[in-house]
Structure 1
Amino acid sequence: MLDVRRMQVLRAVVTSGSITAAAANLGYTPSAISQQVAALEKEAGISLLERVGRGVQPTEAGRLLTEHAAGITDRLVEAEAALSDLRAGRTGSLRVRYFATAGAALVPPAVARFRAEHPTVRLDLKPTEPLDPMLEISSGHADVAIFIDHGRAPGPGLQLAHLLDDPYLAVLPRDHDLRHKRVLDLNDLADVPWVDAAFLPDCCRGIVTDACAGAGFSPNFVVESDDYPTAQGFVAAGLGVTIAPKLGLGAIHPGVVVRRLRNPEPFRSIRAAFREAGSVNPAAASLLNALKDAATTSS
């Protein structure tokens, strides 16, 4: 296989017209240049230079390799420029995964800011299950994932960044007896029927039932729902009460009232997961900062 560095030496000799001039341009001794050309001729199996007076000129094989060396140099320059743009966050792509309520509240403003700062970076945005973004990242399918932290340690090569703690709020029928209280103790809801609004039984429902257990009761679910807007509809119809995370409420149904909770105040911790290599990527760092600012605004 031909040595690329020796091809560049040959090109210097051909363009300068002599071994001595090439040595001066490259900072080598003439002897070192001659040795490099001789080694390249051995690799090529053919003579590359011929003497003409006090200088040299390329043989047909020498001209061929010189032309290819020029092409290699041009491609290396292009590669270095591309790498420089990537390091500076001017090019490349980011694959971002998020769950539904984060997508509605956090991702849009963060993406708008990111696009203004990095208009040439391509974003691949897709919703995913909020419990296992680490699998998306560790399998190479994502660079950044927004998820609900339920105590699982990050996998090898992954880092987590806290975005916000999303508090749960009580959702009551508009004519409910507790509507006049601005802040409810969670056990105020102990003896009333509940609408199950948890669309993720292993995560969101666990937050609800654990909080209720801390308040000394188990919620009496009489209706099941798989999303928060539907749950609000059941509450508005007077079928029960529910609690839902602030980000998940979205537009408040006209038939319900929303109240803060205490003793305890349930919340879900929302984090971003990313590969450690992504922490030094300016584009990934910029998106993370935009997500943090969006989280601050929405909290």
Structure 2
Amino acid sequence: MIDVRRMQILRAVVGSGSVTAAAARLGYTPSAVSQQVATLEKEAGIALLERVGRGVRPTAAGLLLTEHAAAIGRQVAEAETALADLREGRTGRLSVRYFATVGAPLVAPALARLRRDRPGVRVELRLTGSSDPLPEVARGEADLALVVRPHEGSVDGVRLEHLLDDPYRAVLPKGHPLATRRVVDLAELADEPWVRSEWPGPCLDAVVDACAAAGFRPDFVVDSEDYATAQGFVAAGLGIGMIPLTGLRSPHPGVVVRKVRRPEPVRAVHAAVRDTAPDTPALRGLLDALRDAAVQ
């Protein structure tokens, strides 16, 4: 097998025109350079240099290896540059999972900042819907996911970093007896029919747990898969709803939105990353951008 390092020594000899000049350029002794070239000739099975006066010139085989050594040198230099770009966060690829209601307030401004600060970083963005993205993060199939969980910390090898608390609001049909109130006690909604606007999971748990603390369990009479549809059911008078503030960016004209207290249901939004994930500049930059977006 031909040694790549010796090929570069041959390239230096050919480029310098003599063993002595190449040795000075490389910081070796002339005898060490001669030995390396002799070993390379044995590996190649053919003469690589011929003497011309006080110098040397490459044979056809020597010229061939010199050309390949130059190509390898360029590829190594390109690899080193690409590695430095990746190490410094100038390039890279991130796979991100998110749920719909944090898209506009968190994900969009965070990605806009990341694109501005690190334009060479590519982001694969995927909406999770009702699926739990934590297993994907744990397996390394996603670099970061936005999730709703009660507490920050570590769960099954995934680190949760708190971004924001998203309070729920009561959504009432216009004309409802409580619509004239600015703030509604949660217990006042105990006897109402409810429109469920959440998939079973942490988001719905935040509402059900708050209702339990107020002394009742909501009577869900209509199921909905999204907040816009839920508002339509509420506007039609089929029940009242409970929707987080980030899901009320476009309230239905047929509903009123009121604060809730005693207690106020709140869902906690976290960024989830693998515990063992490398602390790359790209991932760190995205986390910083998400934190800044959360406080806007």
TM-score of the aligned structures, taking structure 2 as reference length:
0.90
CA distance in 2, matches of 1:219, 1:138: 34
Consecutive unaligned residues of structure 2, counting only runs of 5 or more, are: none
Deviation at 1:233, TM superposition (A): 1.6
Partner Cα separation in structure 1 for residue 84 and residue 290 of structure 2: 25
8 Å contact 1:174–1:236 — kept in the other structure? yes
Distance in 1 between residues matched to 2:206 and 2:135, nearest whole Å: 22
Q: Judging changes above 3 Å, is the alpha-carbon distance between structure 1 residues 153 and 88 closer, same or farther for their aligned structure 2 residues?
A: closer
What is aligned with 2:204? 205
| Native 8 Å contact 1:23 1:30 kept in 2 | yes
- Alignment match, 1:177: 177
Aligned partner of residue 223 in structure 1, secondary structure: strand
How big is the alpha-carbon RMSD for the aligned residues of Structure 1 and Structure 2?
2.2
2:247 alignment partner in structure 1 = 248
Shift in CA distance, 110/191, structure 1 to aligned 2, threshold 3 Å: same
CA gap of 1:154–1:50, structure 2 versus 1, over 3 A, is farther
Asked whether the 8 Å contact 1:96–1:123 carries over to 2, the reply is yes
Residue 258 of structure 1 deviates from its aligned partner by 1.4
Q: Give 1:150 shift.
A: 5.1
Q: CA deviation at 1:189?
A: 1.2
CA positional deviation for 1:78? 1.5
Q: Please give the alpha-carbon distance, in whole angstroms, between the structure 1 residues aligned to 2:19 and 2:236.
A: 92
The amino acid across from 1:273 in the alignment is: A
Distance 1:285 1:278 in 2: 11
SS in structure 2 opposite 1:73? helix
Q: Classify the secondary structure of the residue corresponding to 1:238.
A: coil
Distance 1:171 1:191, change over 3 A: same
Contact residue 145 and residue 273 of structure 1 kept, 8 A: yes
Within a 5 Å distance, the mapping from 1:25-174 to structure 2 comes to: 25-129=25-129, 132-149=132-149, 153-156=154-157, 158-174=158-174
Instruction: Say which SS state the counterpart of residue 252 (structure 2) adopts.
Output: coil
Q: Is the 8 A contact 1:195 1:235 kept in 2?
A: yes
1:296 to partner: Cα distance? 1.4
1:172: Cα distance to partner? 1.5
The 8 Å contact of residues 161 and 272 in structure 1, kept in 2 or not, is answered as yes
Question: Runs of 5+ in structure 1 lacking a partner?
Answer: none
Q: What does residue 285 of structure 1 align with?
A: 284
- Runs ≥4 residues deviating over 6 A: none
- Residue pair 2:140, 2:274 contacting (<8 A) in 1 also: no
* 1:216-259 C-alpha deviation (Å, 9 max, x unpaired): 11111122222111111222222221211111222111222212
Counterpart residue identity of residue 75, structure 2:
R
Distance 2:174 2:281 in 1: 48
Please say if residues 278 and 285 of structure 1, whose CA atoms lie closer than 8 Å, have aligned partners that are also in contact: no
Q: Which residue does the alignment assign to 1:223?
A: 222
Q: CA deviation at 1:204?
A: 2.1
Other-structure match for 1:14: 14
2 CA distance for matches of 1:277 and 1:204?
A: 27
Residue 170 of structure 1 deviates from its aligned partner by 1.2
Query: What secondary structure is seen at the aligned counterpart in 2 of 1:33?
Result: helix
SS of 1:226's equivalent in the other structure is coil
Amino acid at match of 1:46: I
Provide the TM-score with structure 1 as the length reference: 0.89
Secondary structure of 1:106's counterpart equals helix
**Deviations 1:70-108 (Å, cap 9, x if unpaired)?**
111111111222222223333333222211111233222
Number of positions where the alignment pairs a residue of Structure 1 with one of Structure 2? 295
Q: What fraction of aligned residue pairs are identical, expressed as a percent?
A: 61
